[in-house]
Structure 1
Amino acid sequence: MKSFLFLLILGFSAGSAAQAQSVATTAAAAPGPDTTKEVLLVEASCGQCKLGLPGKSCDLAIRLNGKAYFVDGTTIDSHGDAHAKDGFCQAIRKAQVQGEIVENRFKATYFQLMPEPAATGK
């Protein structure tokens, strides 16, 4: 009985830790988009470095219909090194997203960074 209780507690702890990790990365770790809602293809980058938004730190933003919005629900660091050659502070990337604009911010429920196109050799 004690070993069963121990395994039960151990399993609960592991599940809680996994859930906490999932919540920490939020939309970045979402298993997939909501099939009942439209998936949008947007430009994603650092709001301050590349999309002209105000601020002094590097924060994830998207450009939707020509307007930039900071993103809530995932972070700039959830998608690799922002300062790498292909990072958000160096490049504007494509992303598939779901969510809504609330108080001039994009509340992401799904965020999937698209792979960089392969370089063409000339």
Structure 2
Amino acid sequence: MKKLLFLSLFMIAFSCGNKKEVTQVAEVSCGQCQFDLDSEDGCSLAVRLDDKAYFVDGFNIDDFGDAHDEKIGFCNVVRKGEITGEVVDGRFVASSLKLVDSEKKQKH
């Protein structure tokens, strides 16, 4: 029984120690239309963390409604979202994304 308990605690500690994912509130929008990213053609979801923008893998730009909607679309407004993931090879690999904004900022 002690060995099983020790093994369980060891596995929990080991698995928690290797996680690189972080959860934070960040700006979410269209990389091309709002964050001036140009390494992809067409509109793609992006996140801005610490003043640096990354394209997002794991979610599509239309997963949260029409990207071109004038009031809530990512191509027209920058929104706030609680996003979990990590930067891998210059892209943000997201495992979760929940929009948390109540006001949207339009880029001028």
So what's the TM-score if we normalise by structure 1? Answer: 0.63
**1:83 matched to which residue of 2?**
68
Q: Residue 98 of structure 2 corresponds to which residue in structure 1? A: 112
Bigger mean CA offset, 44-53 vs 107-116: 107-116
Aligned residues: 83
The structure with the greater share of residues assigned to strand is 2
Aligned residue for 2:81?
95
List alignment gaps of at least 5 residues for structure 2: 1-18
Shift of 1:113: 1.3
Tell me if the contact between 2:22 and 2:85 (Cα under 8 Å) persists in the aligned partners.
no
Q: Distance in 2 between matches of 1:96 and 1:57?
A: 24
Aligned equivalents of 2:22, 2:30: Cα separation in 1? 24
**Whole-angstrom distance in 2 between the partners of 1:38 and 1:52:** 24
Moved over 2 A (4+): 36-39, 115-118
Q: CA RMSD in A?
A: 1.8
CA deviation digits over 1:79-121, x for unaligned, max 9? 1010002210000000001100000000001111124339xxx
TM-aligned CA deviation for residue 38 of structure 1 = 4.4
Distance of 2:24 and 2:79 partners within structure 1: 14
Correspondence 1:47 to 2:23: no
Measured in 2, the distance between the counterparts of 1:97 and 1:116 equals 16
The structure richer in helix per residue is: 1
Q: Alignment identity in percent? A: 45
